[in-house]
Amino acid sequence: MEQSSSSKINKVIQFIKNFIPPVQWQFYVIILLGIITGLGIYIFYISNAASYLSNDPRACVNCHVMNVHYASWQKGSHAKVATCNDCHVPHDNLIRTYWFKANDGLRHATYFTMRWEPQVIQIKQAGKEAVQENCIRCHSNAIHPVALRAISNKNVADQTERFCWECHRDTPHGRVNSLSSAPFARVPLLEPVVPEWINKLTDK
């Protein structure tokens, strides 16, 4: 029994040693890891990544393509009672909530970094389902049981898929969906995230 456990320990030690570079490369590997770590922390900082963990709607305007949606929400009735996360993120359990946020955030970061975003934002199927669930969650006490569709969004009459916003088209963002249609939408200005010492270096 003791021999078996010591052999397992030896295997673990050997496995760890496989990742240790030769002595002549250790200095350079440490420097490289330091650079990668530093860049990772800096990218996390300048992208305001921590803001996405909050419920603050201003996190959504870290990306300028959301300016129109932020401004239209801010001027609508939902601004008094709901934030972006209240409508656009699932709320049935904590794991699903943060999995959805992480998945959505990674996709958005990739699209905006690579400049693949369209002028008119289109909500994905998972987003539609989350919004529909939240419409029903918040407004179920105001919906007649006959009108309240099943969670699959099946219409009582024709059994085809319908979403709340097919009738309530102007709630809460109106019909303006592109940057070009509302170029002067007023949104909170982003706080500068680049340190002053870098600005001084680049000004020279």
pLDDT tens profile 40-56? 998 888 778 878 888 88
Can you tell me the distance from the alpha carbon of 201 to that of 180, in angstroms, rounded to the nearest whole number? 35
How many H-runs (helices) and E-runs (strands) does the chain carry?
7, 0
Q: Do residues 10 and 61 both lie within one domain?
A: no
Q: Assess if residue 194 is contained within a domain.
A: no
DSSP-derived secondary structure letter, 168: S
* The pTM of the whole model exceeds 0.85: no
Residue whose entry in the numeric block shows the structure tokens 């320990």: 9
pLDDT bin (cut points 50, 70, 90) of residue 192 is: low
Q: Do 26 and 101 belong to one domain?
A: no
Neighbours of 140 (CB within 10 A): 10
Please provide the average confidence, as pLDDT, over all residues in the chain.
81
Average pLDDT over residues 131-159: 68
Residue 177: inside a domain: yes
Residues 78 and 163 in one domain: yes
The SS3 of residue 181 is coil
With bands split at pLDDT 50, 70 and 90, how would you rate the model's confidence at 194? low
- The domain in which residue 112 lies consists of 57-187
- Domain count for the chain: 2
pLDDT in tens, 73-113: 988 889 999 999 999 999 989 999 999 998 988 888 888 88
Look at residue 31 and tell me if it is in a domain: yes
Is 1 a domain residue? yes
**Residue 101: inside a domain, yes or no?**
yes
The 10 Å Cβ neighbour count of residue 135 is 17
Same domain? For 11 and 68 the reply is no
**What are the Cα distances from residue 134, in Å, to 38, 50, 151?**
39, 24, 11
Give bridge partners of residue 178 from the DSSP assignment. Answer: 120
Q: What are phi and psi of 94, to 5 degrees?
A: -65, -40
CB 68 within 8 A of CB 178: yes
At residue 3, the pLDDT reads: 55
pLDDT score of 130: 93
Strand partners, 161: 154
User: Residues 168, 79: one domain?
Assistant: yes
